[in-house]
Amino acid sequence: MSFANLKKKSRSGSLTDRLIKQVEKLNDKGNSNIDERIWKPSVDKSGNGYAIIRFLPEPEGCDLPWTRLYSHAFQGPGGWFIENSLTTLGQKDPVSEHNTQLWNSGSDANKQIARKQKRKLSYYSNIYVVSDSSNPDNDGKVFLFRYGKKIFDKISEAMQPEFADEDAINPFDFWAGANFKLKIRKVEGYQNYDKSEFSNPSPLLDDDEKLEKIYNSLYDLNEFSSPSKFKTYEQLETRLKYVLGLNQPKKTAVADEDLEDLSEGLSSYDHANDSFNDKPSVPPVESTSDEEDDSLSYFSRLVNE
């Protein structure tokens, strides 16, 4: 940067704005294990946000344009348990088995604990950011997007509309897909995405060369279901017993690793979207979510196996 440009940017305040953004980026969750590939929508002080994104096709080597991941995130006497669930791989998981025992005990108190420790469902897809007014530097770039069942339901509804006068679309298609208007509101303390919707179908870009470049920059979704991303049953069981204080001396202090886990995981969990944001609290027991229905049916299946 030349001295003249430096002076010009100083007068406009752009240097300060740029530095503030960098500071916020560094302070975001301690900058511990942030995945820069994952796009996260911004919200204002009222909890409202808006962006336009486009879901992209499956990368080469992937069967679907999305992948599904189950995880657990809860606190016990021994700290935080934040781990991927082996049920993602179709395997038995010690937390799910423990929750099944609690659920089948007949105790309402145990059922409440099982609800708090239930598995969380997240989806990952590649997206193209059409417009991100809060972070315009993201416009025109490819990211990974982590979202929950509510947004996935809107994708499913677009592919299989409920009414005869609605045309089915493939939201992941470069040419016949549609932009997704992500509308975020804060409802009862949680981020709500109910007003989000797809636009009319249209090509993402009228330039096959640029589309091919986008396609070649897609991220591999198979990594999220790679066995290397999961601890073994025995490792998870050991961690679970430690967190719950089962056959362990009661822990009186929070270990550094728990603080790191809290910063990376629970601080970002978003119950309203079955995804992640900055609210770690557990939703009231009396409210039943789609994910909770999924978890309860999972308990029932384990009982019958």
Query: What's the pLDDT tens digit per position in 136-147?
Result: 999 999 999 999
Q: How far apart are CA 30 and CA 299, in angstroms?
A: 36
Neighbour-count burial for 58-93, b at 16+ CB within 10 Å, e otherwise: bbeebeebbbebbbbbbbbebbbbbbbbbbbeeeeb
Encoding tokens for residue 235? Answer: 């490792």
When mean pLDDT is compared across 104-108, 169-173, 175-179, 298-302, the lowest value belongs to 298-302
What pLDDT score was predicted for residue 10? Answer: 72
Q: What is the pLDDT of residue 117?
A: 96
The pLDDT of residue 6: 72
Calculate the dihedral angle through the C-alpha atoms of 236, 237, 239, 244, rounding to the nearest 10 degrees: 130
Q: Is the pLDDT of residue 50 over 50?
A: yes
Domains and their CATH numbers in the chain? 39-305 (3.90.198.10)
Helix, strand, coil % in the chain, rounded to nearest 5: 40, 20, 40
* Average pLDDT over every residue of 38-45: 94
pLDDT in tens, 190-233: 899 999 999 999 999 999 999 999 999 999 999 999 999 999 99
pTM for the predicted model, two decimal places: 0.72
pLDDT band at 238 (very low <50, low <70, confident <90, very high): very high
What was the pLDDT predicted at 75?
A: 95
- What pLDDT, on a 0 to 100 scale, did the predictor assign at position 17? 66
> What is the average pLDDT across 172-182?
97
Residue entry with tokens 């430096």: 6
Nearest to 81 by CA among 223, 272, 246: 246
| Residue predicted with more confidence, 33 or 219 | 219
Angle at which helix 108-116 crosses helix 290-304, to 10 degrees, equals: 120
